[in-house]
A and B are shown apart, each in its own frame.
Chain A
Amino acid sequence: MSILSVQDIGIAFGGVRAVDNVSFSAETGQVFSIIGPNGAGKTTLFNLVSGVYQPKTGQVRLDGEAVTALEPNRLAERGLSRTFQNLQVFFRMTARENVMVGRHLKESRGLLAHLLALPSTLRQNRESAEIADALLSRVGLADYADTPAASMPYGALKRLEIARALAADPKVLLLDEPAAGCNPVETEEIEKLIRTIADDGVAVVLVEHDMKLVMRISDRVLVLDQGRVLAEGKGAEIRSNPKVIEAYLGTHGPREANLALN
């Protein structure tokens, strides 16, 4: 059984069906990519799956449990984590503190112990800081640990969000355009990182515009167009699918597509 399965999910904004009857499932240890032209509904789909929006139709199952329309923090408790296309970083906190927040669910939550700085709280702080430092090294941001997020470069913030999401030890990780705005070197680093995350036994669901990255890294690809599923399959199948080429390049596309991709 799939760790994440989405069935016939849909939402409409003022009559526009932003996401319409979309189904897919993601498997542990694999990278599942969602592609599509601008406005196809990729980010909306992420917001539905992660509980930020309430779906009008359909359902989401996480590890066999029905989790449709649960609050994002309840989904996080069940092992779903995500990053954001438009950065949602805690800008007034340092990089280390940002990742420590990602550790929230694993931390002790006794308020009295926090107010009095009991040894258990100090130990907790140290432990979270150590885990955060290890994750920052993993995404290549060890040098930024004490830097306020507000003064970090864009590409670093993208990776900071990934580190924060990983801090929760997720079973499913939704990555919304992790390589957007990154230079080729950073993109390559992110590609390697995503691969190791999947290899560690996380189901990665990826929205990405960098087609070469998607084709290299994905186990399966889903193509969305105008809120609907256009095609689903392995990278090679998607690349040669005439409907996909038409959605991206118009009806005269196939020849140009072959030129562009080969």
Chain B
Amino acid sequence: MQALFSHRLAVPLVIAALVVALSFALPSSFYLRVAALVWISAIAVIGLNLLMGYAGQVSLGHAGFFGLGAYAVAVLPAQFSLHPLLAALAGALVCGLIAFAVGRPILKLKGHYLAVATLGFGILIAMAISNESWLTGGPDGMPVSRMTLFGWRVRGAETWYWITGGLLVVGAWIAVNLVASPTGRALRALHDSEVAARVAGIDVARYKVRVFVISAVYASVAGSALALVNGFVTPETANFLHSIELVTMVVVGGMGSILGSVAGAAILVVLPQLLTTFHEYEHMLLGLMMMVIMIVLRSGIVPSLAALFQRRRK
């Protein structure tokens, strides 16, 4: 039983089971749509968790990559009549290249300094998106043309539920592969002791850049998916508050936990929807619940509950 849970593929399989089970349980297309939004956020959060939870490097600018991915599938098909899938691929590529270029100088910084530098980077991208209105529609945003695959128009909440759910499973699978590989061990090692990692032969700067690029690609893919599902993009996808939201999802769900990334995304996407019944108290309740979660489950939902479960069994 223990071996079953600790197997590398356990986590993506659990997520796949969850996606399938929820498709039966959710009663209407409204709920399927909310679930699709959870899957999309979870993709970005898994990427950010590789950077924060495993490699121990913070980024307060990840919505910048998310926004670039979103605008890639809006702008490229409109301007160059590129297929949305190719546009998403181009967005991911550009995000990877940008992360590679800014990664080396930025990731030399540590702790609060790294946080502020990535914050600045995110704000820069958000500003560029809302200022270049000739291309992006400015603060009003712009529509995203529907995707067609082999003559079939991709539409409907249920279709997107399955597409985004599938993407999430693949994203989780790649993430657990990485964590269990020599690269993953190098990342976790430099998190705990950079000097010991270097002495073990790890090129710390290079590995930090690698994981930064990977997490940027995850954010970009999630952004592209969101734009296609919504059929519309706004500069808010790239802004500072969204970056903070992604970081919050990582921390609430659990640093260094892939399953936690899904839990964190689910809580921060679903809770506001549930709390709308409380009207003006909505934000207050959301803040309060997040505080309680962090105080009671301080290493994040999934790691804390897993530890509790293990103690119970002993």
Contact = CB atoms under 8 A, between A and B. Distances in A.
Q: Answer whether A and B are interacting partners.
A: yes
Given A164-B200, A168-B200, A104 B195 contact: no
A135 to B, nearest CB: 13
A71 B205 CA distance: 11
B101 interface: no
Interface in B50-83: none
Most buried by A among B182, B186, B191: B182
A116 B170 CA distance: 10
B185 interface: yes
A76 B199 CA distance: 6
B200 A104 contact: yes
A109 B177 contact: no
A114 B177 contact: yes
A90 B188 contact: yes
B210 interface: yes
Most buried by B among A82, A101, A102: A101
A107 B189 CA distance: 15
B140 to A, nearest CB: 38
Given A72-B198, A73-B202, A90-B193, A104 B186 contact: yes
B4 interface: no
Interface string B180-218: 111111101101110111111111100000100010000
Contacts of A125: 180-182
By size class, the interface of chain B is: 20 to 34
B271 interface: no
Contacts of A100: 182, 185
A71 to B, nearest CB: 7
Interface stretch (A11-19, A24-32, A91-99, A199-207): A91-99
B198 A73 contact: yes
A82 B184 contact: no
B258 to A, nearest CB: 14
Contacts of A168: 200-201
A92 B180 contact: no
Contacts of B197: 90, 101
Contacts of B199: 50, 52, 72-73, 76, 81-82, 88, 165
A115 B177 contact: yes
Nearest to B197: A101
B181 A101 contact: no
Given A76-B201, A92-B192, A102-B200, A114 B8 contact: no
A124 interface: yes
Interface in B135-185: 174, 177-178, 180-185
A210 interface: no
A117 B8 contact: yes
Given A52-B195, A93-B188, A100-B185, A76 B177 contact: no
Nearest to A150: B192
A128 B182 contact: yes
B300 interface: no
A108 interface: yes
B260 interface: no
A91 B177 contact: no
Contact of B196 (A77, A90, A103): A90
A91 B204 CA distance: 18
A88 B185 contact: no
A144 interface: no
B8 A111 contact: no
Interface string A52-73: 1000000000000000000111
A68 B226 CA distance: 52
A164 B191 CA distance: 17
A133 B193 CA distance: 22
B91 interface: no
B178 A115 contact: yes
A249 B184 CA distance: 50
Contact of A92 (B174, B186, B191, B210): B191
Given A52-B195, A72-B195, A117-B177, A108 B182 contact: yes
Contact of B192 (A51, A81, A89, A124): A89
Interface string B236-267: 00000000000000000000100000000000
Lowest 10 CB-CB distances: which A-B pairs, in order?
Answer: A114-B181, A76-B201, A88-B196, A105-B201, A117-B177, A72-B198, A107-B182, A90-B192, A88-B193, A101-B189
23 contacts: A50-B199, A71-B198, A72-B198, A73-B198, A73-B203, A76-B200, A84-B195, A88-B196, A92-B188, A93-B192, A101-B185, A101-B202, A107-B182, A108-B182, A114-B183, A115-B174, A116-B174, A116-B177, A117-B8, A117-B181, A124-B182, A125-B180, A165-B199
Interface of B: 8, 174, 177-178, 180-186, 188-189, 191-193, 195-204, 210, 214, 256
Given A73-B199, A164-B196, 8 more contacts: A52-B199, A73-B204, A76-B198, A89-B192, A104-B189, A113-B181, A116-B174, A168-B201
